[in-house]
Structure 1
């Protein structure tokens, strides 16, 4: 029965029905082509001017499809509920057939008659898949009409088809919602995984990669490619054992997990972006569905490169410490230092440079190159601010170059190209109050600045500096002990022997009577005089040496033409040399100026030339060569004399030491000449060394002196 008046039928306002209706997503101004075909078919086959699919809400009806609906309702696709006959179909959940609504007591006042032109009406329930009536499928005529049975059957069938179409639309909507939900979940999961610093990779049941998160994509400079088989992607990803062997497909943690193994704490190397080597610790496990089916596997890889490098550096520091304990010679320990640093960083090349105070230049004391890489050209020397090591040494600050190929490095292009090295780090090796050199390391790949790496390399450089300081302190301690021994020898022999002789001869003189003629004791007086002269010379040289050693004897620093001074001493020594059968040959530049004490330099040069002549007991050539070698004045005095035994060569600069060969040949001397020469040279910031002649075999001695040309601060 159709209720009278404008009241909303009870079934229309049912909250459960309305909830189902609104959940369908069909309400609105959308059109549905499948429903449009059904309403067009109904209008055509029944020759009905109007055919509708309505959705009845609490206060209005919506047209999901409409044929013959007048304006403005056709455009608006909705009317108030007072325009609706379909609400009665919803309320009763049964068909409603009306031949003439104007004659129906319950419908005659409906605006559907006056506004929509509905006089005859036939409507069937439009049901949702759960059975709830959403609205109606109806046809209408603008004049009274007796609906035949076949016509009503057709409307009922079309209503059932429309319900199926609605079910399909609802299913598609649910799928769309599910798809949207899945997309949201996927986006959420991707954002979550990409926010992790830890690398995540997943594969499907066939072992094909389906997911890399952002951390892994960046580290590997690659992405998952489902088109690759497990063996293909295992070859493409450069995953290495700690010893450098490549992982096989069967060894990959992800595929081991897919096979059912629970993989924990597998450490491996990965060659990633720009050939950078990273160290990962990986856990992996299989992913199973609720029914136990294998859905794939997931692996989580944590980048432990920093921790790994720190551990390697602890080992390197220990290796360096052991090398320093085992050696007292910087050159011997340096090789262990550069190898320890290079292998700890897993970089390709390392160098240790030490400064030469005379030339103010750096020289490489040790280098190391990865055996798997080509040799690297290392310059013989570097000046302040020149090259990577020279820059760190001069600025006394670490220098990091992320990529040598970018052209910003303080290195020549040919060295950069030839070495095939990319990143570089140089740190100064510091002493107590100055930089002593630099430690440099080079990587085969570009590297962004790593403060941990800088700190670790600087720590080893500090060890090197402390070792050099210790070596210097040990050297000074040995020199002090040596000085004490020398002065004991002085008292025990060099002074006692002539004093004993003087005392003995004095006693003999005392025993003579007053009538003894001087001629009878002349020999005694001459022995006393000779020993007295020796003592005076010895004491004079000792006082001179002590004054220079202590700094009490001041040097008078001024520009000195060393070439002229050497030439003068050569000329002065030639007559005596010729008398002894020696031939002094000189090679001296026109001019070579140094800052120094002219008298002391003359004293030093004279002693060296006099010694060369004195020890050439059989005559022969004496070569005096002076050159300017890269800002250092180098003086070589070489003779062909009796030479110095190899085991005595380090002792020649000790006070009172006299070569066994000199004593054998009865050559007179105090044993202080070379000691005095060394002190003079060291006060001029120079060095002196003794060696056999470079181009002669057998006998002879070469004395090499080096003095900085610009040594304006001689002590």
Structure 2
């Protein structure tokens, strides 16, 4: 999910190949509104970038990044309405740390740029060095320009997303343990990824697909050599989809069995673009299949992670380090402590994210075996809840726990405590001050059921199918800037499934506000 403007950053560097056209638009706007400065910003959900400008003060160049909440553009993004200011020094809406205060700009008028669906994708603004009472004609001109800027913003955001996806997929392909080879429509080799080059003991790739296939030390499972024309890559190049062709590769004096798939690559209009062959080592087939299935479903989430969950704390750390570097050496240590504390908080956030990613990867790949033992699940739940009382008290949340005496269960003690902790952290994070969180453990002859019910903001019906997906964060988390990575419930689901149980999320019964998470484990 995209982050809201409250956690975004304003970047004043030029953005994208549409800059020249946007600069010209800004110049026209400045003349039409009879002002010195005009700016066109785009908002991609993570950052606000200066797409085009005319007469932008030199002072802005010294503030290349700032929190959007400190900017006038942020006021437009947050409210969704135009922001018109006659005097930036006396208007109480102008934040004290706004970049505009470092310049000579004294008046401002900003209008939201919306996409065809009505979503805000940028801000069109004009400003000047003299205070003024904006005329209706001037404001109408800025509004008209904002509507005209929709195409600029859409083109830039589309190019940016395309570039990020291409970089992500290129890096991912080269990091796969699965071998990948591809050629273009003329049969020229364009890709043999690192894994396949390592298997074949080759370096750079050149020449035609016919030559490459003819050099492959490959046979069928019975040892009969496979002609180049029968290779999956060349069959795919001629329009045939090949799935499950088992082949022996004879490399380094060993024979390794692969399942090779071949696929034609076509444009959306059916025009041939080339072909790709994928080499799956049978011994790692399950892992490779799982990775490929997850690729399309999670690529946007991973892009969001790289673009926000990693970049935001790194940006904060970098900003504080820059401030510390530029501080007067005689500055008392007490005055520097807030910046050090801020950098430490961002560092801790990164560390937690890395720990969660490593834990998720280990659970997902089966590299973290369960240490099963006979435990008292009731005692483990009670003790874990007791450890969260301080966290609940800090938000004035009433935390209750109802468990029967002695509930024997064959399970991994550490993972059970982690499961309860994840559910509690989720409930406490999404419950406002003064709410309640109730933890209940019940038993039947067949199952042990753990429920964590809160009186929090609740989950909209359309988001319920996605709450256990990796990196999923609901709209309320974005709106209220609730900290998190969207991995906790995914880890909870994996722990539950490794114990052969089920986990569900839904509204509280009797139409009460909030959410109930229920884990059911077989006895």
Q: Taking structure 1 as the reference length, what is the TM-score of the superposition?
A: 0.31
The answer to which structure, 1 or 2, has the higher relative contact order (CA under 8 A, 6+ apart) is 2
TM-score of the aligned structures, taking structure 2 as reference length: 0.42
Q: Which has the larger radius of gyration?
A: 1
